Amino acid sequence: MRHKFRNISFDKIDHAILETLQNKGRISNNDLAEHVGLSASACLRRVKSLENNGVIDGYAALVPQSAAGLPDNVFVQITVEKQTKEKLAEFEKKVRQCPQIMECYLMSGDADYLLRVVVADASDYERLHMDVLTALPGVSQIKSNFSLRTVTKKSAIPFRPS
């Protein structure tokens, strides 16, 4: 879901709250309030407002892929036969149902979609390719690239000064 934040203005305190929560998601409200220079009740109101406006999308524990037995990333470019609204919606619905597809982007350029999938190894990817990716609705071409190693991976979104 794409949120529009044009009518929401963020001040320095909002930025500080968001940056802190992105890097220390388990911080207590009291510690967060002290860190950003607010009372606990004012800080909690700000956080609730950010949540209610969809600025804070949720909270999560970050688990290393290797802990789940899926240490490898494969970037998959997929071209579909037809780009009708119905065909794209059908494809995207199926993609969302596959737990090993971590990210999927509708793209401009040569491929229609770019996926990041997590796998245990090459044979695991072969199974995923044969059983899942080739069975996705409307797929006409698949190009895959194995990641050799992750150089950087960020979860915190940077904020531009207002």
CA distances to 70, 71, 124 from 120, rounded to whole Å, are 4, 6, 6
**CA-to-CA dists, residue 26 to 23, 44, 82, 86, angstroms:** 9, 14, 45, 41
- CATH class of residue range 65-146: alpha beta
Model confidence pLDDT, tens digit, residues 82-98: 899 999 999 999 999 99
Give the model's pLDDT for residue 55: 92
The CATH architecture annotation of domain 12-52 reads Orthogonal Bundle (1.10)
Q: Where are the chain's structural domains?
A: 12-52, 65-146
If one counts every other C-beta atom within 10 angstroms of the C-beta of residue 128, the result is: 21
Query: pLDDT class for 162, splitting at 50, 70, 90?
Result: low
Mean pLDDT of 4-10: 69
Query: Which residue reads 């899926």 in tokens?
Result: 70
pLDDT digits (tens, 9 = 90+) for 112-159: 999 999 999 999 999 999 999 999 999 999 999 999 999 999 999 998
What does the alpha-carbon distance between residue 26 and residue 21 come to, in Å, rounded to a whole number? 8
pLDDT number for residue 92: 97
Secondary structure letter of residue 158 according to DSSP: P
pLDDT of residue 161: 64
Q: Give 51-70 pLDDT, tens digit per residue.
A: 999 999 999 999 999 999 99
33 CB-contact burial (10 Å; exposed 0-12 / middle 13-18 / buried 19+): buried
Least Cα distance to 5 among 149, 162, 129, 148 occurs for: 162
pLDDT of residue 5: 61
How confident is the model over 18-33, as a mean pLDDT? 96
DSSP 3-state of 78: strand
| 109 alpha-carbon distance from chain centroid | 21
What's the pLDDT at 1? 39
